[in-house]
Chains A and B, each alone.
Chain A
Amino acid sequence: MYRYDNYDQTLVNERVAQFRDQVNRRLAGELSDDEFKPLRLMNGLYLQLHAYMLRVAIPYGTLSSKQLRKLAHIGRRYDKGYGHFTTRQNIQYNWIKLEETADILAELAEVEMHAIQTSGNCIRNITADHFAGVAADEIEDPRIYSEIIRQWSTFHPEFSFLPRKFKVAVTGSPHDRAAVKVHDIGLRMIRNEAGEAGFEVLVGGGQGRTPVIAKSIRPFLPKRHLLSYLEAILRVYNQLGRRDNLYKARVKILVDAVGAAQFTQMVEEEWQHIRDGYLDLPAVEIERIRAYFAPPPYKRFDGAPAEYETQLRRDFLFARWVRTNVAAHKRPGYAIVTLSLKPTGGVPGDATDTQMDAVADLADRYSFGEIRVTHEQNLVLADVEQAVLFELWRKLEALNLAEPNVGLAGDIIACPGLDYCALANARSIPVAQQISKHFGDLTRLLDIGELKIKISGCINACGHHHVGHIGILGVDKHGQEFYQITLGGSADENASIGDIVGPAFGTEQVVGAVETIIDTYLNLRQGGERFLDAYRRVGLKPFKEKLYAAH
């Protein structure tokens, strides 16, 4: 993975000193709260329901074991012994003190980490495929370009006071695990007719109040033009995005208002002025960064080891875990392991300091010292030899990280919700816990099959409910928590926004509603079709009928 050079390290070190000075000026009264707020936001420090929340950047969701140990240490020393992994591959700490934040940032800088631009109206964390580098269908490792974009976007002097936040995601594979179509800019690696790798550029996707699938504005962009083209998009947005209404200020609103064709034209016009200039991306820099993402020293295997096959046959529980939590690796004899942060009845996406330290050790032992964070709030060890899967599984079980539910109804994505977030209208975590417990029977979970349930506590959609197969949105109705359900959303290359089924359900009824939905699916599914496929085949009607007949 990428390692800082002198320039990168100097930047974060100076940033820590700068923030420390800003805090001191705040405490001395030289800065009002209004003036300090954008500064602390640009360092990811929010004021939330209970305390300050610090959102630490995990660029494209990749961590070294050393970094994960530091995250564990920060949870232990400065917080209440845990952290929360988010839908943008970052980590959040909920109980941070302002007076300790500069120290935390200094500790992060020691391991090449920071909290820069994880909030504020600027370019946020660049997210990428959590199977980068190990997926068989990958064209190139998207993290190379994510790192390039990360640097270009860091303290960009022109784009630090945008109309609103700006989120970029990159996929290196045709199968999109990075949800690029619901980002402000999505980049999809493709090959042109000459076989050259480049990017399809998508703009204006997003969730929140007005969910929308991104529009493709450039079918093929050569790599050397990556930064100049992004600069053109951001410049058009910075100039023309709405400044009068916070809820209408994302780039998706602009693209919708002027139309994709005109937006494309404006970008292309601006781009003509700045292409082939100082933003041309030198091949030497691409290669320099590519070297950091070179494959690790894999052993040569012909295929799955015999003992592994035996273990699969002999141990039903192991086989079940492999079936759900282990994915095929592009190298024979290796596997991609997802560590479920969704124990039945647990808080989705939370990890204790003990778990984080243990995962760091497991990464060192079994996966070349690297861990990934997914936007579905799980962790990944991407390069595990099949020969050791059984012993790894036992260790993960002991750590409560082996719930065999990845991609199933128990693998719920939930924002922190009203329990933590000052923006929320309703709680999301207890709903996730109830659903998880209700569908705790793992045999049943497997029978239901792939089902992505995503829960947001408010319209800001940090739980990505719009792209859940079942989406749940918490709303406030007359001071009571209610939950609106959507169906048929998806975040992959066939992205779709979920359809609202009808009136919202009360707290006591949500689990029952989900049960009804699943029963309806089970009764009408054909062959082995997934929930999403069944929904796309039959539409909303059968579900709506059953739901509102029963309730």
Chain B
Amino acid sequence: MPLIKANGLVDDLWTHVKDEEQLPPDGAVIVTLARWQANRDQLLARPTPLGVRLRSDQAPSAIAGDIERFDVIALEFPKFTDGRAYSSARLLRERHGFRGELRAVGSVLRDQLAFMRRCGFDSFQIPDSADAAAWAGSLRGISVVYQPATDARTTAIAARHKPAPRREVEDDEEPAPKVVAAAVEVSYEPSQVCAGYWAY
């Protein structure tokens, strides 16, 4: 199934390995949580990047201690109505500091992409029949956001109350950088890997 990121279709360099399959000798693999828990040492011994896939009923806390081991975490949406992975994504990013690729897999609707992105997903598995460019276009969603989320976009509240610039800018000066900090302190750091996608 095709994979998109903010800029559109990308090659998928990862292989999802089913539990009953043998691990390929090399190459970047994504394994299930069960496989990770059962074959941890063997998986860590591989020289190639490692990913893990969580079902919607598997909590992020299950891998919290090992978060730096993974370059990709795939979160499943078994039905598009099952919204648990939105919370899992935010926790992986904001609570457990995951900085790798966070991938949405399973039943992903085009009109959910913007929500997923705000929650910290940066790659999305889309149906074979989907128009990748059109889907990637849906990632931005509505230009105003009311509530803070993983993506650190300026909320309406923050924008309403941003402090005024301190002084007049002289003609030949560089203008002072726009202050977009909220009136309150942000107490987390968004993923550095993903920061570039969310520069608003």
Which residues on A are within 8 Å of B, measured CB to CB? 5, 7-8, 10-11, 14-15, 18, 22, 35, 38-39, 121, 151-163, 227, 235, 238-239, 243, 273, 276-280, 282, 284-285, 288
Which of B81, B83, B115, B142 has its CB near the most chain A CB atoms (within 10 A)? B83
Q: Which of B169-193 contact A (CB under 8 A)?
A: 182-188
Chain B residues with CB below 8 A from A288, complex form: 160-161
User: When the two chains form their complex, are residues B143 and A277 in contact, meaning their CB atoms are under 8 A apart?
Assistant: no
From A121, A151, A154, A280, contact of B184 by CB (8 A):
A280
B144 contacts the other chain (Cβ, under 8 Å)?
yes
Of the stretches B20-28, B33-41, B145-153, the one at the interface is: B145-153
Chain A residues with CB below 8 A from B1, complex form: none
From A35, A161, A243, A276, contact of B86 by CB (8 A):
A161
Chain B positions 54 through 95: 1 when the CB is less than 8 Å from some CB of chain A, otherwise 0 = 001101000000000000000000001111101110100001
User: When the two chains form their complex, are residues A277 and B185 in contact, meaning their CB atoms are under 8 A apart?
Assistant: yes
Nearest A residue to B145 by beta-carbon distance? A155
Chain B residues with CB below 8 A from A121, complex form: 81, 83
From B109, B117, B142, contact of A14 by CB (8 A):
B142
Which residues on B are within 8 Å of A, measured CB to CB? 56-57, 59, 80-84, 86-88, 90, 95, 109, 111-112, 114-119, 141-149, 156-157, 159-161, 182-188
**Given A7-B160, A10-B143, A158-B90, A239-B59 contact (CB < 8 Å):** yes
Nearest B residue to A284 by beta-carbon distance? B161
Chain A residues with CB below 8 A from B185, complex form: 277-278
User: When the two chains form their complex, are residues B187 and A161 in contact, meaning their CB atoms are under 8 A apart?
Assistant: no
From B82, B87, B146, contact of A11 by CB (8 A):
B146
Query: In whole angstroms, how far apart are the Cα atoms of A443 and B59 in the complex?
Result: 62
Nearest A residue to B184 by beta-carbon distance? A280
User: When the two chains form their complex, are residues A161 and B143 in contact, meaning their CB atoms are under 8 A apart?
Assistant: no
Expressed in whole angstroms, the minimum distance between the Cβ of A263 and any Cβ of chain B is 16
**Given A38-B81, A158-B119, A161-B80, A5-B160 contact (CB < 8 Å):** yes
User: When the two chains form their complex, are residues B156 and A239 in contact, meaning their CB atoms are under 8 A apart?
Assistant: no
Query: In whole angstroms, how far apart are the Cα atoms of A328 and B156 in the complex?
Result: 38
User: When the two chains form their complex, are residues A152 and B188 in contact, meaning their CB atoms are under 8 A apart?
Assistant: no
- CB-based closest 10 A-B pairs: A161-B83, A157-B118, A277-B187, A157-B115, A7-B156, A278-B148, A151-B146, A11-B144, A158-B86, A280-B184
Expressed in whole angstroms, the minimum distance between the Cβ of A126 and any Cβ of chain B is 13
User: When the two chains form their complex, are residues B142 and A18 in contact, meaning their CB atoms are under 8 A apart?
Assistant: yes
Nearest A residue to B130 by beta-carbon distance? A30
Q: What are 8 residue pairs bridging A and B, where the CB atoms are less than 8 Å apart in the complex?
A: A121-B83, A158-B119, A160-B86, A160-B115, A162-B83, A278-B184, A278-B187, A288-B161
Expressed in whole angstroms, the minimum distance between the Cβ of B92 and any Cβ of chain A is 12
User: When the two chains form their complex, are residues A161 and B184 in contact, meaning their CB atoms are under 8 A apart?
Assistant: no
User: When the two chains form their complex, are residues A154 and B143 in contact, meaning their CB atoms are under 8 A apart?
Assistant: no
From B57, B82, B90, B147, contact of A152 by CB (8 A):
B147
Nearest B residue to A6 by beta-carbon distance? B144
User: When the two chains form their complex, are residues B144 and A156 in contact, meaning their CB atoms are under 8 A apart?
Assistant: no
From B56, B156, B182, contact of A278 by CB (8 A):
B182
Nearest B residue to A148 by beta-carbon distance? B157
User: When the two chains form their complex, are residues B148 and A279 in contact, meaning their CB atoms are under 8 A apart?
Assistant: yes
Query: In whole angstroms, how far apart are the Cα atoms of A485 and B182 in the complex?
Result: 54
Chain B residues with CB below 8 A from A8, complex form: 144, 156
Query: In whole angstroms, how far apart are the Cα atoms of A280 and B161 in the complex?
Result: 14
Query: In whole angstroms, how far apart are the Cα atoms of A235 and B111 in the complex?
Result: 21
**Given A18-B142, A161-B81, A282-B87 contact (CB < 8 Å):** no
Chain B residues with CB below 8 A from A276, complex form: 187
Query: In whole angstroms, how far apart are the Cα atoms of A227 and B109 in the complex?
Result: 28
User: When the two chains form their complex, are residues B114 and A157 in contact, meaning their CB atoms are under 8 A apart?
Assistant: yes
Expressed in whole angstroms, the minimum distance between the Cβ of A271 and any Cβ of chain B is 13
From B86, B144, B147, B156, contact of A238 by CB (8 A):
B86
Which of B82, B146, B159 has its CB near the most chain A CB atoms (within 10 A)? B146
From A152, A159, A161, A280, contact of B146 by CB (8 A):
A152
Query: In whole angstroms, how far apart are the Cα atoms of A152 and B148 in the complex?
Result: 9
**Given A161-B81, A238-B84, A282-B184 contact (CB < 8 Å):** yes
User: When the two chains form their complex, are residues B81 and A282 in contact, meaning their CB atoms are under 8 A apart?
Assistant: no
From B57, B88, B119, B187, contact of A157 by CB (8 A):
B119
Expressed in whole angstroms, the minimum distance between the Cβ of B152 and any Cβ of chain A is 9
User: When the two chains form their complex, are residues B115 and A282 in contact, meaning their CB atoms are under 8 A apart?
Assistant: no
Chain A residues with CB below 8 A from B146, complex form: 11, 151-152, 154-156
Query: In whole angstroms, how far apart are the Cα atoms of A244 and B182 in the complex?
Result: 40
Nearest A residue to B142 by beta-carbon distance? A14
* Extra pairs beyond A5-B160, A10-B144, A35-B109 (18, CB < 8 Å): A7-B159, A11-B144, A14-B142, A38-B109, A121-B81, A152-B147, A155-B141, A157-B117, A160-B86, A160-B112, A160-B115, A238-B83, A238-B84, A239-B84, A277-B188, A280-B184, A285-B160, A288-B161
From A15, A151, A163, A279, contact of B142 by CB (8 A):
A15
Nearest A residue to B149 by beta-carbon distance? A157
Query: In whole angstroms, how far apart are the Cα atoms of A133 and B109 in the complex?
Result: 43
Chain B residues with CB below 8 A from A15, complex form: 142
User: When the two chains form their complex, are residues B82 and A161 in contact, meaning their CB atoms are under 8 A apart?
Assistant: yes
**Given A158-B149, A277-B186, A239-B87 contact (CB < 8 Å):** yes
Query: In whole angstroms, how far apart are the Cα atoms of A156 and B86 in the complex?
Result: 10
User: When the two chains form their complex, are residues B142 and A155 in contact, meaning their CB atoms are under 8 A apart?
Assistant: yes
Query: In whole angstroms, how far apart are the Cα atoms of A10 and B156 in the complex?
Result: 11
Chain B residues with CB below 8 A from A280, complex form: 184
